[in-house]
């Protein structure tokens, strides 16, 4: 049985393109903008946009899990 976490070589570029599109959509969403404005300035200054998006997604999923 193939490892479900492995990605076929042809799909890696598709996955990267999809992640770029998702990041762009999330970064411009009102929910993300609102969440980001609530974060401390030290977090915003020391965290890349991608890291901020990952934090936002993690917190959102944790909230939904309850």
Check residue 31 and give its pLDDT.
95
In a domain, 9, yes or no: no
Check residue 6 and give its pLDDT.
58
Per-residue pLDDT tens for 1-60?
444 555 566 678 889 999 999 999 999 999 999 999 999 888 888 899 999 999 999 999
In a domain, 40, yes or no: yes
In a domain, 47, yes or no: yes
In the chain, how many domains are there?
1
In a domain, 13, yes or no: no
Check residue 8 and give its pLDDT.
66
Cα dihedral 27/31/37/43 (nearest 10): -60
In a domain, 53, yes or no: yes
Q: Which domain holds residue 52?
A: 26-66
Nearest to 41 by CA among 31, 28, 52: 52
Check residue 9 and give its pLDDT.
66
């Amino acid at each position: 049985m193939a490892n479900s976490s492995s990605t076929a070589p042809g799909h890696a570029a598709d996955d990267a393109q999809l992640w770029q599109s998702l990041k762009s959509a999330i970064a411009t969403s009102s929910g993300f903008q609102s969440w980001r404005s609530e974060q401390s300035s030290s977090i915003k200054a020391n965290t890349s946009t991608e890291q901020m998006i990952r934090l936002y997604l993690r917190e959102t999923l944790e909230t939904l899990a309850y």
